[in-house]
Amino acid sequence: MSDSAADQSRVWLITGCSTGFGRELVRAAVAAGDRVMATARRPEVLADLVDLGRGRVSTTTLDVTDSASIEDAVEATLAVYGRIDVVVNNAGNLLFGAVEGFSMDELRSQMDTVFFGAAEVTKAVLPHLREQGSGTIVQMSSMGGQVTYLGFGAYHAGKFALEGLSQTLARELSPLGVRVMIVEPGAFRTQINASKILTSVPEAYHGSVGAFRTAIDSMRGQEQGDPAKAASAIVTAVHSDNPPLRLALGGDAVDGIRAELASRLEDVAGWEEVSRSTDVTV
């Protein structure tokens, strides 16, 4: 790539690039002519992406639960490329089990990765984006950031928190030229289902949470979403002049989120009289 072309290309910092969306996002960003700092807890597993990038992909260690690792990865990206234009908070895992069954330590561990890790990476990059007056923060949420399913309570807690933080951040950053996009995929053929962490399911929930676990286990490798197509859609949105605050990916996400929003509106309308009756009467 010539120096002038490099100056015009975006620089991406992506967490969790060893598998799934992260790996495909590296490929999609490179295909769009951009440059990438691909990260993982073990960056040696990313060697094939470096080869693919032909000088446009670098790698470094980033563990989103380690503050020093986050700061080092941001500094490494700036040292290699001189700037950061897009940060993608993609690293994550899935804790599955009934709310009554998982321990508080398990819940905190889930929140550390899904929420606090993404928040800390975001905060580490924000001063640089503000200073240059441009950039995009991509938060990899889930349709599970709006729609809930049995056994996903800890995961939903993390994604709901991430969406609340990110929507607020979008409003705070808008006057400063920095954009935020929340990505909400449905079921995609990544490793998250196969590698989910299983916690206790008390006997009372065997017929509900236990049965749902059996159902989602049967979906492994059969999910309707294609991660490569998702990555391409994300890159297209980042490159657009007017990206959405929320980008649903997959027909199941569109249908599920639409139904959830309709249900919320129905509750608001159905109880509006009672809700309004609590105002102070003048």
DSSP 3-state assignment of 36? strand
What is the signed CA dihedral for 176, 235, 47, 220, rounded to 10 degrees? Answer: 120
Calpha distance 123→57 (Å, rounded): 23
- Are 217 and 192 spatial neighbours (Cβ–Cβ below 8 Å)? no
**Catalytic residue numbers, as ranges:** 141, 155, 159
- Are 35 and 57 spatial neighbours (Cβ–Cβ below 8 Å)? yes
- The CA–CA distances, whole Å, from 126 to 67, 119, 155, 173, 249 equal 15, 10, 25, 9, 26
Minimal CA–CA distance to 101: which of 215, 209, 216, 195?
209
- Are 227 and 21 spatial neighbours (Cβ–Cβ below 8 Å)? yes
Structure tokens given for 151: 């056994």
Q: Where are the beta strands (DSSP E) in 141-211?
A: 179-185, 197-198
